[in-house]
Amino acid sequence: MRANPYLFAAYFATWTIHITYLGIIASRYAKLKREVNDLKQD
Amino acid sequence: MKKLFPILGILSGILLSYALYQGLVVAPTEQTMGNVQRIFYYHVPSAWTAFILFFVNFGASIAYLIKRRPAADMVALVSAEVGVVFCTVVLVTGPIWARPVWGIWWTWDMRLTSTLVLWLIYVSYLFLRRFSSSGETPVLAASLAVLGALCVPFVYFSIWFFRTQHPQPVMGGGGSIDPRMLHALLVNWLAFSCFAFLICWSRYRLEKFEREVDHAHAMRSLRDPATNIEREPYSERRA
């Protein structure tokens, strides 16, 4: 199969969107965990 | 349940890798479009997954309107959010395919325009959920979700009812498809459906966790009002 820039761009864009969303979920989860730790300390 | 999540994650990863191999290596090259046609193996399954998630959102919204259970509201929110992510993939990969095949990135034909309108409806739904702090927000959002779901069949059948530039449907459209192409398409759909389920599961856990923390803060401020000076509910801070 010959490399095609449009095909590469589409697959790359798909995974960029999914990984960005997963990153947002992970950062919100980490922020909440910090908050729960603060709550426990108080 | 905690052990099941990583197992499903690994299975989903293997399935996605196998689907990528099917789409890039096993499926034959289409004669007129060439390798650009392989974009379909991501574009079409993403569209189907988004439609399923919007229907889950519809069902959960109806359930919430009838029974007012918070779990139904959370399922509605999560499915709409993940559905928007998949619909975004559809709206991004579609123009990337159209540029070399049609010579244009976008055209205002019925399928493309209705998909964009559908995406905008669900983005408005998410904006409503995030920026409205009224107690009636879940009810208003559920009503908007019912309206949005009515748009899904219109988007799907628009290529039957209107003359559009968009290709005819892969299944049920009267055309034929190479069995290896169909296999690659279905494997990709299965892989993306598993992946979507996992994301929904993570997002549901996060939503539940956020509501529990909100509740803990509310209880704490009831006990000691002085601690509530600098804090507002999590739902409002997320905005």
Copy the structure tokens of residue B106.
Answer: 């976008």
Using the predicted structure, report yes or no on whether residue B82 has a pLDDT greater than 70: yes
pTM score, two decimals? Answer: 0.89
Whole-number pLDDT of residue B31: 86
Using the predicted structure, report yes or no on whether residue B165 has a pLDDT greater than 80: no
Cβ atoms B56, B84 nearer than 8 A: no
| Residues B209, B150: Cα–Cα separation, whole Å | 31
Q: Give the residue from A1, A4, A6 with the most B CB atoms within 10 Å of its CB, the best one to mutate.
A: A6
pLDDT in tens, B126-142: 999 988 878 888 999 99
Using the predicted structure, report yes or no on whether residue B239 has a pLDDT greater than 50: no
Domains of chain B, residue spans: 15-167+177-200
Helix H, strand E, coil C: the string for chain B is CCCHHHHHHHHHHHHHHHHHHHHHHHCCCECCCEHHHHHHHHHHHHHHHHHHHHHHHHHHHHHHHHHCCHHHHHHHHHHHHHHHHHHHHHHHHHHHHHHHHHCCCCCCCHHHHHHHHHHHHHHHHHHHHHHCCCCCHHHHHHHHHHHHHHHHHHHHHHHHHCCCCCCCCCCCCCCCCCHHHHHHHHHHHHHHHHHHHHHHHHHHHHHHHHHHHHHHHHHHHHHCHHHHCCCCCHHHHCC
DSSP A2: -
Q: Is B138 left (phi over 0), alpha (psi -120 to 50) or beta?
A: alpha
Cβ atoms B47, A15 nearer than 8 A: no
Does A21 sit within 8 Å of B199, measured CB to CB? yes
| Residues B164, B159: Cα–Cα separation, whole Å | 6
Residues in chain B with CB shorter than 8 Å from the CB of A18 are 85, 89, 195, 199
Sign of CA dihedral B112, A6, A19, B7: positive
Region B143-164: mean pLDDT is 84
The architecture of the domain spanning B15-167+177-200 is Up-down Bundle (1.20)
Residues in chain A with CB shorter than 8 Å from the CB of B39 are 6-7, 10-11
pLDDT in tens, B183-219: 999 999 999 999 999 999 999 999 999 999 888 888 8
Percent of chain B at pLDDT > 70 equals 90
C-beta neighbour count of B155 within 10 angstroms: 23
DSSP A32: H
Q: Choose among A9, A21, A39: nearest Cβ to B85.
A: A21
Whole-number pLDDT of residue B177: 82
| Residues B197, B57: Cα–Cα separation, whole Å | 13
Backbone angles phi, psi at B34, to 5 degrees: 75, -150
Percent of chain B at pLDDT > 90 equals 62
Copy the structure tokens of residue B145.
Answer: 């979700």
Residues in chain B with CB shorter than 8 Å from the CB of A25 are 199, 202-203, 206
